[in-house]
C-alpha cells in the first residue's frame, strides 16, 4: 500500500471536519510536523494513531482505510 493514501484520507476528513493541522495535532497530542509527515505519506501511521484520529474526528475507523485496502480485507 502506498503510504500517501492514508495521509490523503486523513487530510480530507480533517478538512471536512473543520480542523487545521495545528488544531488536529493539538487534539491528538502530537506535533504538527508528525501530522504533516503522515498527511504527506512520509510516515506510516500506526493503528493506535489511526484509532485516535478517527475518535477525534468522530468518524468510524474504517472510513480512514483507503478503498483499495477495504476490498482486500473483505
C-alpha 43 chain-centroid distance: 11
pLDDT at position 65 is: 82
pLDDT at position 72 is: 45
Domain boundaries 3-73, corresponding CATH code:
1.10.260.40
Each residue's pLDDT, cut to its tens digit, for the chain (74 residues) gives: 466 788 999 999 999 999 999 999 999 999 999 999 999 999 989 999 999 999 999 999 999 887 665 444 44
**pTM of the predicted model as reported, rounded to 2 decimal places:** 0.83
Residue 24: name the closest of 71, 66, 54, 56 by CA.
56
Q: CA-CA distance, 62 to 8, in Å (whole number)?
A: 14
User: What is the radius of gyration, based on Cα positions, of the chain?
Assistant: 11
Determine contact, residues 66/1, Cβ cutoff 8 Å: yes
Amino acid at each position: 500500500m502506498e503510504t500517501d493514501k492514508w495521509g490523503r484520507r486523513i487530510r480530507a476528513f480533517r478538512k471536512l471536519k473543520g480542523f487545521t493541522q495545528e488544531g488536529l495535532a493539538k487534539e491528538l497530542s502530537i506535533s504538527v510536523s508528525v501530522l504533516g509527515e503522515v498527511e504527506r505519506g512520509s510516515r506510516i501511521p500506526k493503528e493506535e494513531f489511526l484509532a485516535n484520529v478517527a475518535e477525534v474526528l468522530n468518524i468510524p475507523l474504517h472510513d480512514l482505510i483507503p478503498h483499495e485496502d477495504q476490498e482486500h480485507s473483505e
